[in-house]
Amino acid sequence: MYSKLKKTISDLTQNFDSIPNERKETLKEVAQYISEELDKKGKVKLNFICTHNSRRSHLAQIWTQTAAYYYDIGGVQTYSGGTEATAFNPRAVAAVERAGFHVNSPVGENPRYEVKVSEDAKPMICFSKKFDDPENPEKNFAAIMTCSDADENCPFVPGTDFRKAVTYRDPKESDGTDREKEIYDARCRQIGTEMFYMMSLVQ
């Protein structure tokens, strides 16, 4: 694992006490679902969903898969999608890079980014798509709603056997301001802390 990323993860895992108890209870429910699916099937599919699949859902997908790698939990497959497709926002991509991930940044309107935790690990392929895109699971998966708009506007996600809202404030509100980098880094680390806490509970 890249040294800068290892340092970030060390910081995140020492910050579990910052998570409010109410959110911890929600994360424990997701962890229980993951544990049960791994016990029964040997694998679990998690689709993180927000409105544009451009920021929060990608961050949750990346950090959860990374936590599974870090804790050596096999069978975890993470995905992300939106109620509409746009692109993985470059500001969020930059926050991921500052956290220590290595990102191959191609060009195009909706680039397929390759995000790596180490030279040896298989890259995570991240690009914006709808939650029901053919590259996402069709059935027997968990829908984790990372924004309240998607949760409210998407009352039914076909094929799910578990659904939970784990919502985050949109860092988009800082776009173009002098706090943009600070806000994106804070949201990246908040999501990383909570996804690592969640995966640390998986039995």
For residue 4, pLDDT beyond 80: yes
pLDDT band at 132 (very low <50, low <70, confident <90, very high): very high
pLDDT band at 154 (very low <50, low <70, confident <90, very high): confident
Q: 139: buried, middle or exposed (CB in 10 Å: 19+, 13-18, 0-12)?
A: exposed
Question: Tell me, what's the pLDDT at 155?
Answer: 72
Residues 179-193: pLDDT tens digits?
999 999 999 999 999
Question: Tell me, what's the pLDDT at 151?
Answer: 76
Question: Tell me, what's the pLDDT at 190?
Answer: 98
- Dihedral angle computed from the Cα positions of residues 124, 62, 81 and 126, in that order, rounded to the nearest 10 degrees: -30
Question: Tell me, what's the pLDDT at 48?
Answer: 97
Question: Tell me, what's the pLDDT at 143?
Answer: 97
For residue 42, pLDDT beyond 90: yes
Q: From CA 143, how far away is CA 127, in angstroms rounded? A: 18
Question: Tell me, what's the pLDDT at 195?
Answer: 98
Q: Which residues of 9-35 are buried (b: 16+ CB within 10 A; e: fewer)?
A: beebeebeeebeeeebebbeebbebbe
Domains of the chain: 3-200 (3.40.50.2300)
Q: From CA 51, how far away is CA 82, in angstroms rounded? A: 5
Over pLDDT 90: what percentage of the chain? 91
Residue 51 backbone zone (phi > 0: left; psi -120 to 50: alpha; other: beta) = alpha
Mean pLDDT to the nearest integer, 86-98: 97
Contact in structure between 67 and 143 (CB atoms under 8 Å):
no
Mean pLDDT to the nearest integer, 43-56: 96
Mean pLDDT of the chain: 96
Over pLDDT 70: what percentage of the chain? 100
